[in-house]
Amino acid sequence: MARLEIVLFGQFHVQSGGQVLTDLYPPKLQELFCYLLLNRDHSHPREAIASVFWGGSSTTRSKKYF
């Protein structure tokens, strides 16, 4: 299994097996990845994540963004 290297402070950076994972560069995707990484000790319902990232929107709209 390839080693996963993650840098959260400074410039966001993720590497797997020496290769940079470039698919994680949209800012919202980085935020989601960091949130799930830092809170990996339990499952997260879709509605809860949607409210964390798009809490100012309606439930329907926040679920659509997610």
What does pTM read for this prediction?
0.76
Domain boundaries along the sequence of the chain:
24-66
Q: What is the pLDDT of residue 16?
A: 92
User: How many of the other CB atoms lie within 10 Å of CB of 12?
Assistant: 16
Tens-digit pLDDT profile for residues 12-55: 899 999 898 888 778 888 899 999 999 999 999 988 888 888 88
Q: Distance between CA 20 and CA 28 in Å, rounded?
A: 18
Largest Cα–Cα distance of the chain, in whole Å?
41
